Structure 1
């Protein structure tokens, strides 16, 4: 009887799990964005002080339960020597968040080249893409109107997937919640193509 009740309980509380990659160059604000998302969308979560966030070497993992599903975020290090490891995670992912440092004009072309290499991978075909113009709190940053045309040059590789380019500040939290809510809707629309992982 216990086994039956335990099984029923697990069935009732388990959530479909979707894996979201957070990619971009080093120092684009990926980890700060993940911390801001967890702070805004997880009850009683006290985020890390942004001053204590260091460069990711390898992988940070975070989870958010929202709209009856679980989002598992994989925040991957953006240094050039770590980018070769990204494709190990592509096949299991359900969406991509690509973070651009909109204040770093000198590395915009490098960010675009890394994006192009990533978006061409067959394992990412069709999955939703949220492209974030981060650091909008800084003066003299590039706005979405400047950044969007740079990445639209890759339209042939982006294809017909759900795609949104939006301004955010991971540091202040502006735009973070709206981006995650859009991503949830896009992932659920795409779930007939890329099925969720069922969390045990």
Structure 2
């Protein structure tokens, strides 16, 4: 059974530190840009997509020292949102390894993945095709995945991305 929780699906926001997860969540929940500092532990908020639909979004700290604790947050996770900084190609290999490790967790078997290519508004940002290739996304044939470009600072693409995440979750529920 697990622990009793509200009926809104649990979505986990992960990614390397400085990918912009907390800014993105703050923008989604409040529509404002907030000064953020590295997340120790997690932030959690409920995102109301419309009158009937809400998602509980957990933003988990991405610093190296925190990553060992990630698996504790994966119970009841119904979609994984992996945030990458599109303007930082040097860290994509690290992001790829971290994503691969997380997706190998038993608890995430078959859980849909949404990759958010954040900071897409920056002039040197890579496109989603390049990011998808670098993260080896096409090799994840055991789950549904999508990648979308967004900007946490400007709030661009976030609503669409989370609407898609909700569709992925609903689709997945029908398969079970």
TM-score normalised by structure 1 residue count:
0.79
Rg bigger for which structure? 1
Which sections of structure 1, spanning at least 5 residues, go unmatched? 1-14, 41-46, 195-200
1:145 pairs with 2:136:
no
Matched residue SS, 2:65 = coil
Q: Match for 1:56 among 30, 39, 46?
A: 39
Instruction: Name the SS of the counterpart of 2:120 in structure 1.
Output: coil
Residue 91 (structure 1) aligned to one of 55, 63, 75: 75
Q: Match for residue 11 of structure 2?
A: 20
Aligned pairs, number = 171
Task: Output the CA distance in 1 between the equivalents of 2:175 and 2:14.
Answer: 22
Any stretches of 5+ residues in structure 2 without a counterpart?
1-5
Cα distance in structure 2, aligned partners of 1:81 and 1:62: 23
The CA deviation string for residues 70-129 of structure 1, in whole angstroms up to 9 with x for no partner, is 311110000011000100111221111000011112111111111111111111011111
RMSD, aligned CA: 1.9
Greater helix content: 1
What are the within-5 Å matches in structure 2 for residues 1-40 of structure 1?
16-39=7-30
Give the alignment of 1:1-200 within 5 angstroms: 16-39=7-30, 47=32, 49-50=33-34, 52-67=35-50, 68-152=52-136, 155=139, 158-192=140-174
